[in-house]
Amino acid sequence: MSTHHVLALILVVTTSTCRAAYADFDYGGMPVQINRLLGEPSVLTLRGRVDSSWYRVLNRQGCPLECDCPIQWPSAMFCDNRGLFYVPTSLSPKSQYLFLQGNSIAALPRRMFENTTLVRWLILDHNVLTSSQIDNASLKGLHHLENLFMNYNNLTEIPSPLPSGLKQLRLAYNRINKIGPGVLDNLKNLTLLLLHRNQLKVIGEADFKGLQSLILLDLSHNSLTEFPAYLPPSIQQLYLSNNSLTALPGNCLINFKNLQYLRLSHNKLTNDGLPSTVFNTSVIVEMDLSYNHLTSIPMVHESLQYLFLEANIIEAFNTSSFCRKVGPVSFSKMKLLRLDGNRLSYSQLPSDWVLCLRVLRDIYI
């Protein structure tokens, strides 16, 4: 099975049978990891799962009328998909998991969470939050907060300051047009940052300076014209698809010692904009260069296993793109190669391609 759509996360989101309702369970388009050993709720919404008359009866004391608080998860409050225009004011001080997605909440006042400082998960997806209506101190006191989801809102800036213990920050599908120096500096534990489907044009030198533990960064579907030059070297998964990149600097990947997944599809990359050594890194396992303007196969490292080049304008197959030399221990580790949607046919494959790509399982032309 290709790793093209597989991430090192546990998928616990239940797929809706109704396509229109799927967005309610999207959470930024990235699977959500649940740790049941820590008592985390195994679902992020009760909608469509259990009849409300049943779990309302089992609500624990002190649960706001706007929410449901099943006794199965004594520290969780399900206030999602209720048509709320505000965050309930009588939140339990013992709450650790607060689900508020799918409402019409537009603001986060200063003292909104002052009595719920133990919250570890805060999900505010699919609301109408704007940056001007989020008080600078509204999130500051949530010292235990690890996961903050604010996808599908109307944010133009990243909320600041944010709690230093954050591990996941999901801000996809907003209108964020800049990050700004210092906004993320204190997030030394952050491992996942979703910023796709925003309006970013430039990544500044100090924008990601403090993200020492970042593993996954999604900047796809923005308006970037240059490869971001100052990204955390800890990144293992980097997504830059659907931007306006035309070229890559020759040393843009040299500092990534753990980068395994690189997605650059749906850009405007040309061979003239790709130095011959730009992809000469042994750690990358999967690379997506589909839907660009490539006329030939770029040179890649022999250790690369999955390469997606479909929907370019490639006219020739060069074995040297995959192997500098061919021998008993010198060959490409490629397992899957997609070249469909180009100007190639199987008859154009050179005779020595099977020696170079000897462990290849699937090839599409």
Query: Mean pLDDT for the chain?
Result: 90
Q: Is the pLDDT of residue 289 over 90?
A: yes
Q: Is the pLDDT of residue 155 over 80?
A: yes
Domain at 118, CATH number: 3.80.10
Of the given ranges (14-18, 33-37, 84-88), which has the lowest mean pLDDT? 14-18
Query: Is position 255 within any domain?
Result: no
The pLDDT assigned to 23 comes to 41
Query: Is position 11 within any domain?
Result: yes
Query: Is position 2 within any domain?
Result: yes
Task: Look up the domain containing 86 and give its range.
Answer: 1-140+147-154
Quote the percentage of the chain above a pLDDT of 90.
76
Span 21-37, pLDDT tens digits: 334 468 998 889 888 88
The 3-state secondary structure of the chain reads: CCCCCCCCCCCCCCCCCCHHHHHHHCHHHCCCCCCHHHCCCCCCCCCCCCCHHHHHHCECCCCCCCCECECCCCCEEECCCCCCCCCCCCCCCCCCEEECCCCCCCCECCCCCCCCCCCCEEECCCCCCEHHHECCCCCCCCCCCCEEECCCCECCCCCCCCCCCCCEEECCCCCCCCCCCCCCCCCCCCCEEECCCCCCCCCCCCCCCCCCCCCEEECCCCCCCCCCCCCCCCCCEEECCCCCCCCCCCCCCCCCCCCCEEECCCCCCCHHHCCCCCCCCCCCCEEECCCCCCCCCCCCCCCCCEEECCCCCCCCCCHHHCCCCCCCCCCCCCCEEECCCCCCCHHHCCCCHHHHCCCCCEEEC
Q: Is the pLDDT of residue 297 over 60?
A: yes
Segment 148-153 shows an average pLDDT of 98
Q: How many domains does the chain have?
A: 1
The pLDDT assigned to 55 comes to 56
Query: Is position 197 within any domain?
Result: no
Query: Is position 342 within any domain?
Result: no
The pLDDT assigned to 175 comes to 99
Segment 265-274 shows an average pLDDT of 98
Query: Is position 291 within any domain?
Result: no
Query: Is position 281 within any domain?
Result: no
Query: Is position 50 within any domain?
Result: yes
